[in-house]
Amino acid sequence: MTLIKSISGIRGTIGGTQGENLTPIDAVKYAAAYGSWVKQQRDKDTYRVVVGRDARISGHMVQQLVMNTLIGMGIDVIDLGLSTTPTVEVAVDLEHADGGIILTASHNPKQWNALKLLNSKGEFLDAAAGQEILDIAAAENVNFAEVDHLGEISKNDAYIDLHIEEILDLTLVNREAIKKAGFKVVVDGVNSTGGIAVPLLLDALGVQTVKLFCTPNGEFPHNPEPLKEHLTDLMKTVIQEHADLGIVVDPDVDRLAFVDEQGEMFGEEYTLVAVADYVLANTPGDTVSNMSSSRALRDVTQKHGGTYKASAVGEVNVVNLMKETKAVIGGEGNGGIIYPELHYGRDSLVGIALFLSHLAEKNVAVSKLRAEYPSYFMSKKKIELTPELDVDGILKAMEATYAQEEINTVDGVKIDFSENWVHLRKSNTEPIIRIYTEAKSQEEADTLANKIIDEIKTIVNL
């Protein structure tokens, strides 16, 4: 059982011992620290925080703890109930709120939950703000409100609809072309809030929808990370239904992947590549993704005359570099689309609308669209962390081993070879070292990853 306290939020497994897991006491502790931080940002009479959650089983319990902690501090709460991460982000901005909390552990299994923390712009906190909250929690000196100054909870369940309206109003969302195309789409909502939001969006776009695992009860029917090995039901259903494509999102709807009409994965890395191709063709500019993302985005960006930049892993790092470079599209290779015209956050819903616009305008099958892009293959492996493993020592040893290659140490160690690359880093969300590789074939990518893992095992005598 695990509790991970990081600048990106508080994530842990439900149950067990206080301080070692995400117990009710820990949920209150870190909600109070966040509330205290919110009040430190501006001195005013009233404060408001937006709170929403995915459909995981522990969500209602954790949300009640968090909301009542905030009102105990004199902060008003706008309760979105079942929602999505990008919807909460949009709501913070539209409500002119002081911050937001999404209760979700993203792609982690059902025993996990987390407090994802937002600033007043509806964006994830930067490192300095995250550290301030951790320091407040450690000091345990939060002041709560007196009885006449308690906050209030107001329910607003309209924000998924409002979020969709904001998407439909975007210039590059071609509603007419999508409706005319007559798409039939299978949706895997992994029994979370994607099962609510994605069908609503598709219906608004005039798309025929076949629902698969769209009951928001938190009983994930498969591992919720949208990878090929977890999506056999979706792939089979696309073929059985003679659908044009399949769509899958993670439990909080900030990661997006597609299945083509032949029941094959479009490639999670290529979600951003395809959407960027469409956006850049209509609004030339620059792009950003993180260091663990495919080189294909660089290739597509250069095709359109733009410049590609890579950030450290983490949404806030991508967003900061996008703002710095005024990028017109960006995100993460795990299927996270960040389209600044709407907001600075990974958003599967806007990704779906832009992808379908691209597909409709080109009037090609999904498999044909995928064939237009450079073919790179990735391997994503991991090593479980144990107390005796010296992660920093491992990374330094690997850096020294490959000192003759192009090395980037902004986030872990990335080694760029002429035909492939490997990126090693400690995860922010799980007790693991991630080992990502990319090459011109799957066999080459897997071979490189296994070679690196063997070298690490030699270093630590595993």
Give the separation between CA 135 and CA 272, rounded to whole angstroms: 36
Give the separation between CA 114 and CA 97, rounded to whole angstroms: 21
Q: C-alpha angle 86/7/131, rounded to 5°?
A: 130
DSSP string, 229-254: GG-HHHHHHHHHTT-SEEEEE-TTS-
Q: How far is CA 203 from the centre of its chain?
A: 24
| 3-class secondary-structure state, position 85 | helix
Q: Which of 461, 243, 205 is nearest to 367 (CA)?
A: 243
Give the separation between CA 4 and CA 27, rounded to whole angstroms: 12
- Helices (H), strands (E): how many in the chain? 15, 20
CA distances from residue 240 to 117, 217, 233, 245 in whole angstroms, order as listed = 41, 25, 10, 12
Give the separation between CA 215 and CA 107, rounded to whole angstroms: 17
Strand residues in 213-347 grouped as ranges (E): 245-249, 256-259, 287-290, 308-311, 329-332, 336-338
Structure tokens at 242: 């003679």
Residue 446 half-sphere exposure toward CB, CA atoms < 13 A: 3
378: which residues sit within 8 A by CB, 6+ positions away?
269, 294, 333, 436, 437, 438, 445
Give the separation between CA 448 and CA 435, rounded to whole angstroms: 10
Q: Is 229 exposed, middle or buried (0-12, 13-18, 19+ CB in 10 A)?
A: exposed
- Strand 184-188 to strand 153-155: parallel, antiparallel, or no bridges (unpaired)? unpaired
Q: Which of 106, 292, 294, 348 is catalytic?
A: 106
Residue 309 identity: K
Give the separation between CA 152 and CA 150, rounded to whole angstroms: 7
Residue 409 identity: T
Structure tokens at 431: 């007790």
**6 classed as catalytic:** no
Catalytic residue IDs: 106
